[in-house]
C-alpha cells in the first residue's frame, strides 16, 4: 500500500466517521426536537385539561358576587375565608363528613377488590356449569338503569333495618355488586399465560393458591386500576348515600356539598367551590399514589 493509498484510506475513514458523527448528531437533534414538540403539545393540552380546575380554584377564592358576573379567572381579592368558613358552614363540621366518607370508601374499595377479583378469577380461569349464564346475568346487572331498581332496593334495605346505616352502601361491595370490575379483571386475567397456572397445578397448587400467588401478583396494573376507580367512584358517589342516609351526622362529603345550593334564598357558591376543591384532595393523592402501580408486569417481560 503506497502513501497515496494510505492517505486515501485514512481520508475515507475520516469521511465515514464524520458522516456517522453527523448522522448521530442529526438523530439526536431530531429526537430532541420530537421530544420538545411532545412536551409543548402536552403542556398546551394540559392547560385545556387543567382549565376547569383553575376555574374551580379561582371561583373558590372569589367574592360571592364576582363568581358569575366576571369572566376573568383572577379574583379581585383573595377570599381564603371560603375555606375556613366553608369547613364549618354546615350544621355539622366537614371533619365528620370526611370521617364518614373515609370509612365508607376504605371498606368499599377493599370489598370491591376482593369480591370482584374472586368472581373474575372464576369467570376467566375456571370451568363450571352455568358459567356462561352467570356471566350473562352479571352483564345484565351492568345494563339496567339504576333508577328503576332504586325503590325495590330501598324497600328491601328498609325491611332489613339498614336504612340510615352504611350497610346498604358497603355490604353489596363485598358481594361483588359492581360488574364493571369483574368484567375488567376478567379481561386482564385472560391475558395471563395459561402455562403459569398449569405449571403451578402440576406442582400441586390449589386453585386458591394459583389465584393468590400467580394471578393476583401478575395483575397489578388491573388491580391498581380497579382500586383507583372504586376509590374515586365510591368517594364521589351521591345517589346511594342520598337515598340511604338520613341523619346529617352520617352524611358523606358529596352529600354535604349538595347542602350548599338552594332553589331559593341564599346559596353559598364560594364555600361550595372551596369545599369541592378540598374534596378532590384525597382522590388526587390516591390517584397519584396508585397510578405508580400501573407498571409493566413481571410476567410479560420474563416469559418467552
How near is the Cβ of 178 to other proteins at its closest, in Å?
A: 9
Taking the C-alpha atoms of residue 46 and residue 283, their distance in angstroms, rounded to an integer, is 19
How near is the Cβ of 213 to other proteins at its closest, in Å?
A: 15
Nearer to other proteins, 203 or 292 (CB): 292
How near is the Cβ of 202 to other proteins at its closest, in Å?
A: 16
| CA Rg value for the chain | 29
How near is the Cβ of 16 to other proteins at its closest, in Å?
A: 21
Nearer to other proteins, 106 or 261 (CB): 261
Distance of CA 130 to the CA centre of its chain: 32
> What sign does the CA torsion over 245, 246, 252, 253 have?
positive
* Contacts within 8 Å (CB) and 24+ apart, 179-182: 179/138, 179/139, 179/141, 179/142, 180/142, 180/229, 181/112, 181/113, 181/116, 181/120, 181/226, 181/229, 181/230, 182/116, 182/119, 182/120, 182/123, 182/138
Nearer to other proteins, 4 or 276 (CB): 276
Grid look-up 385545556 returns 48
Nearer to other proteins, 66 or 102 (CB): 66
How near is the Cβ of 47 to other proteins at its closest, in Å?
A: 9
Helix, strand, or coil (residue 31)? helix
Nearer to other proteins, 3 or 71 (CB): 71
Q: How many C-beta neighbours within 10 Å does residue 200 have?
A: 17
Nearer to other proteins, 1 or 302 (CB): 302
Tell me 65's DSSP state: G
How near is the Cβ of 101 to other proteins at its closest, in Å?
A: 15
How near is the Cβ of 2 to other proteins at its closest, in Å?
A: 40
Nearer to other proteins, 3 or 292 (CB): 292
* Residue 191 and residue 260 in contact, taking contact as beta carbons nearer than 8 Å: no
* Residue 270 and residue 79 in contact, taking contact as beta carbons nearer than 8 Å: yes
* Residue 295 and residue 215 in contact, taking contact as beta carbons nearer than 8 Å: no
* Residue 85 and residue 271 in contact, taking contact as beta carbons nearer than 8 Å: yes
Amino acid at each position: 500500500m503506497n502513501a497515496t493509498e494510505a492517505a486515501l484510506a485514512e481520508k475515507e475513514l475520516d469521511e465515514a466517521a464524520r458522516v456517522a458523527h453527523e448522522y448521530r448528531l442529526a438523530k439526536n437533534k431530531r429526537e430532541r426536537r420530537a421530544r420538545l414538540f411532545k412536551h409543548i403539545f402536552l403542556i398546551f393540552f394540559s392547560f385545556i385539561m387543567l382549565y376547569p380546575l383553575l376555574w374551580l380554584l379561582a371561583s373558590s377564592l372569589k367574592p360571592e358576587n364576582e363568581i358569575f358576573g366576571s369572566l376573568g379567572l383572577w379574583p379581585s381579592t383573595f377570599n381564603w375565608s371560603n375555606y375556613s368558613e366553608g369547613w364549618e358552614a354546615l350544621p355539622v363540621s366537614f371533619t365528620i363528613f370526611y370521617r364518614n366518607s373515609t370509612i365508607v370508601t376504605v371498606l368499599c374499595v377493599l370489598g370491591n377488590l376482593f369480591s370482584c377479583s374472586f368472581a373474575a378469577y372464576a369467570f376467566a380461569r375456571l370451568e363450571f356449569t352455568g358459567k356462561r349464564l352467570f356471566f350473562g346475568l352479571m352483564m345484565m346487572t351492568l345494563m339496567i338503569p339504576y333508577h328503576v331498581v332504586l325503590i325495590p332496593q330501598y324497600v328491601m334495605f328498609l325491611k332489613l333495618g339498614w336504612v340510615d346505616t352504611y350497610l346498604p352502601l358497603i355490604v353489596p361491595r363485598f358481594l361483588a355488586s359492581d360488574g364493571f370490575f369483574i368484567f375488567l379483571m376478567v379481561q386482564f386475567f385472560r391475558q395471563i399465560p395459561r402455562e403459569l397456572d398449569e405449571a403451578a397445578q402440576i406442582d400441586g397448587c390449589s386453585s386458591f393458591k394459583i389465584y393468590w400467588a400467580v394471578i393476583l401478583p401478575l395483575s397489578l396494573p388491573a388491580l391498581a386500576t380497579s382500586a383507583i376507580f372504586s376509590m374515586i367512584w365510591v368517594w364521589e358517589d351521591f345517589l346511594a348515600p342520598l337515598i340511604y342516609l338520613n341523619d346529617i351526622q352520617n352524611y358523606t362529603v358529596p352529600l354535604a356539598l349538595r347542602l350548599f345550593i338552594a332553589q331559593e334564598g341564599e346559596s353559598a357558591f364560594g364555600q361550595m367551590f372551596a369545599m369541592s376543591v378540598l374534596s378532590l384532595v384525597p382522590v388526587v393523592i390516591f390517584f397519584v399514589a396508585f397510578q405508580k402501580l400501573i407498571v409493566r408486569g413481571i410476567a410479560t417481560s420474563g416469559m418467552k
